[in-house]
Structure 1
Amino acid sequence: MKYKRIRDLREDCDLTQTELGKKLNLPQRTYAYYESGERTIPPEILIALADFYNTSIDYILERTDKR
């Protein structure tokens, strides 16, 4: 599964993968794997992303269009 929304959210905030990785305490490469869908995002990272973007995990996973 490709996580298009985390890329869109990151770009909307004008952040690079490296900058967001630092905020989440992740290497840039690991974060890039999440965006591309090469790795499944662990629950604790999904929670951190939802908190950071002030949105729901369902929105990030494209289960809803309501932020």
Structure 2
Amino acid sequence: MYERIRNMREDKDLTQAQMAAYLSIHQTTYSDYELGNLNIPVSVLDKLADLFGTSIDYLVNRTDVSKPYPR
């Protein structure tokens, strides 16, 4: 899961600092998310899924389909 989130961030050419600002958290907290040192809250996963245009299931490796679910 953590590698997938990092790869998606890098694909969008975003830094960890930019991601932290978007999520209103410290950069070190975001870094710990990517390293797997902290569990990522569902509220953060929801924001990441919206930013990346995907589903939470894709972010957490429950599916390999990156397309978001219809709302």
Whether these two folds match at TM > 0.5 is yes
- Runs of 4 or more off by more than 6 Å in structure 1? none
**C-alpha distance in 2, partners of 1:12/1:39?**
22
For the aligned residue pairs, the C-alpha RMSD in angstroms reads 0.9
Max Rg structure: 2
Structure 1, unpaired ranges of 5+: none
Report the number of matched residues. Answer: 66
Give the partner amino acid of 2:38.
Answer: R
Q: TM-score, normalised by structure 1?
A: 0.94
Matches within 5 A, 1:1-67: 3-67=2-66
Bigger RCO of structures 1 and 2 (CA < 8 A, at least 6 apart): 1
Structure 2, unpaired ranges of 5+: 67-71
